[in-house]
Amino acid sequence: MEKMEQPPHVVFHTIPAQGHIKPLLCLAQLLSEAGLYITFVFSHHFRKCFENLPDLSNQSPNLHFEFISDGLPDDHPRSITFDFFYDIKTKTKPHLKDLILSLNTRSPPVSCIINDQYINYPLEVAEELGIPSFTFCAHSASFALTYFIIPKLIEDGHLPFADDDMNHEINGVPGLEGILRRKNLPIFCALPDINSPDFQYFLNGTTGMIPYSSGLIINTFDELEDQSLPQLAKHFRKVYAVGPLHAFLNSKIGKYGSQLIGSHISLWKADQNCITWLDSQPLRSVLYVSFGSLINISASQLLEFWHGLVNSGHPFLWVIRPDVIFSEGEQAVIPEELKIGAKEKGYIVDWAPQEEVLFHQAVGAFFTHCGWNSISESIMARIPLICWPQLYDQLISSDLVSKVLRIGVELKACDRSTIETTIKTLMETKKQEFQNSVNRVANSAQDGIGQGGSSNQNIEILIQHIKNMKLN
Ligand code: UDP
């Protein structure tokens, strides 16, 4: 009797950050829908994030989860810092390698690994086991490109920085014209010594393994980043722009399906009561405020926000994560006056069902830290943005949003008066202008994921690429 053909087996591995896991899970589910056998690998330490995970076996029988040790002691803080990346590089690698060897004996043999751009050890494991691999990028092509221009910036004397002016613009860099400021570069570029082990580690860590990668899969789309994507493509064998992945998945499995997937790995449970509150608000009147899953703010900043929001006169729905306030030197509690005041004007939650919120007809604008998922979700819901970027890729994304796409404005200073006037600009004086721009970008995103669209085609090519790997 003929042996039944086994599907290609793709192993996913990423850093334990909400903004990375969600788009990668969306990709994993899309590939599983296409008949590929998927294993998503997490560390034991994040198992608690899966406590509410409903049984996906009916919906996605090809999607499997495995847990490995990250090799770190239990009391390790596991915050996303330089040290964490150093530590997991060597400590987690043997556990991942053992798992893949074991998967080969109990499931279809592993055909390829898809790993997060910020960790190299899965690529090393793939190399050692003779398995092809892809690099996944959870943020914009513009930010991804900043890593590859560093040698040229050094050659041209832009690095190390000559002074402390982080807003200094760097011109003449193909693909990043008009959006490159010192502060938009990867964080290690601020190190004063470009020959230091830290600088070299992070430069080589993110770009050094690229020759071994079969391609870059990125959660953006051709029309959104038509400047930077062609430049980025010069550094990889192949670039697959397949975004926005959440919208792609929603188009396959139903609206908010990706939110459901994303909330499985969230540390906080989304408060659905805010939807009932939104139901009672006038059309397009509410400002949704959320700074994502990682960043912290001071208690005094929080108060400035509160005054700015209340003074703007617009109702607001505000996500204040229980761990959002810095604990150092300040009281790590939400000020009581903030909670009381917000009762009249707004609604505060620990964590919101963000995609559903953005699609609610009462929401008119999004005050965001510019995480790439938040931007993509806002675009798809046709909601203009106020950008308050703090770290990492958020800084260049804010310039992309406000200067190139013109679908939002950047908050220039974090005081109550600037906050109030910026909200009024977006939600009153320039409302229609921003709405028109975001509609235009949303239409091109929708076209991209639709039949024959660029992202749709790219994902088909990717799937074929993976299937061919299995044959080889
Ligand atoms: N998110 C959510 N509820 C919230 C805040 C955020 O579901 O109250 C989700 C949001 O939909 C997005 C992710 O968390 O998919 C945050 O990712 P992003 O890239 O925007 O920011 P990060 O958390 O990585 O800084």
Q: What is the pLDDT of residues 167-226, one digit of tens each?
A: 999 999 999 999 999 999 999 999 999 999 889 888 887 777 777 899 999 999 999 999
Same domain, 282 and 246: no
Residue 461 has pLDDT above 70, yes or no: yes
288 lines ligand 1 (CB under 6 A): no
Give me ligand 1 centre to Cα 375, in Å: 10
Question: Which residues does the annotation mark as catalytic?
Answer: 20, 116
Residue 327 has pLDDT above 70, yes or no: no
Residue 264 has pLDDT above 90, yes or no: no
Instruction: Give 427's pLDDT tier (boundaries 50, 70, 90).
Output: very high
Residue 333 lies in a domain: yes
Same domain, 243 and 285: no
- Total tally of structural domains belonging to the chain: 2
Out of 36-50, 180-194, 318-332, 360-374, pick the least confident.
Answer: 318-332
Kindly report the CATH number assigned to the domain that includes residue 398: 3.40.50.2000
> How much is the pLDDT for 328?
57
Same domain, 188 and 295: no
In terms of Cβ atoms closer than 10 Å to its own Cβ (0-12, 13-18, 19+), residue 181 is middle
Residue 438 lies in a domain: no
Same domain, 255 and 183: yes
Average of per-residue pLDDT across 398-415: 97
Exposure pattern of 333-361 as b/e (b: 16+ CB <10 Å)?
ebeeebeebbeebbbbbebbbbbbbbbbe
Out of 19-23, 343-347, 426-430, pick the least confident.
Answer: 343-347
Element (H, E) at 286: strand 286-290
> How much is the pLDDT for 433?
97
Tell me the three state secondary structure of residue 375: helix
> How much is the pLDDT for 28?
93
One-character DSSP codes across 379-418 = HHTT--EEE---STTHHHHHHIIIIII-SEEE----SHHH
Same domain, 288 and 182: no
Across the chain, mean pLDDT equals 90
Give me ligand 1 centre to Cα 307, in Å: 24
Residue 381 structure tokens: 């819901």
Ligand 1, atom 18, lies closest to the CA of 371
Same domain, 110 and 132: yes
Indicate the Cα dihedral angle 323, 326, 329, 334, nearest 10°.
Answer: -60
* Distances from the Cα of 451 to the Cα of 25, 52, 224, 455, angstroms: 22, 34, 18, 9
Give me ligand 1 centre to Cα 237, in Å: 31
Residue 155 lies in a domain: yes
> How much is the pLDDT for 208?
76
Out of 141-155, 221-235, 247-261, 386-400, pick the least confident.
Answer: 247-261
Same domain, 28 and 158: yes
Residue 1 lies in a domain: no
Same domain, 206 and 155: yes
Residue 143 lies in a domain: yes
Give me ligand 1 centre to Cα 291, in Å: 8
What is the percentage of the chain residues whose pLDDT exceeds 70?
A: 92
Average of per-residue pLDDT across 148-160: 95
Atom of ligand 1 nearest to the CA of 319: 8
Tens of pLDDT along 52-109? 556 666 667 888 989 999 888 888 877 777 778 778 888 999 999 999 999 999 999 9
What is the percentage of the chain residues whose pLDDT exceeds 90?
A: 69
Same domain, 22 and 89: yes
Residue 255 has pLDDT above 90, yes or no: no
Of 89 and 415, the structure prediction assigns the larger pLDDT to 415
Range of the domain at 76: 9-261+452-471
Same domain, 54 and 133: yes
Beta bridge partners of 348: 318
29 lines ligand 1 (CB under 6 A): no
Residue 368 lies in a domain: yes
Out of 297-306, 309-318, 369-378, pick the least confident.
Answer: 297-306
15 lines ligand 1 (CB under 6 A): no
426 lines ligand 1 (CB under 6 A): no
Atom of ligand 1 nearest to the CA of 20: 24
Ligand 1, atom 5, lies closest to the CA of 292
> How much is the pLDDT for 58?
66
Q: Residue holding tokens 């939600």?
A: 427
One-character DSSP codes across 331-354 = --S--HHHHHHHHHHEEEESS--H
377 lines ligand 1 (CB under 6 A): yes
Q: Parallel, antiparallel, or unpaired: how do β-strands 239-241 and 286-290 relate?
A: unpaired
Instruction: Give 269's pLDDT tier (boundaries 50, 70, 90).
Output: confident
Same domain, 38 and 106: yes
Residue 439 lies in a domain: no
Residue 333 has pLDDT above 70, yes or no: no
Instruction: Give 1's pLDDT tier (boundaries 50, 70, 90).
Output: very low
Residue 383 lies in a domain: yes
Same domain, 210 and 69: yes
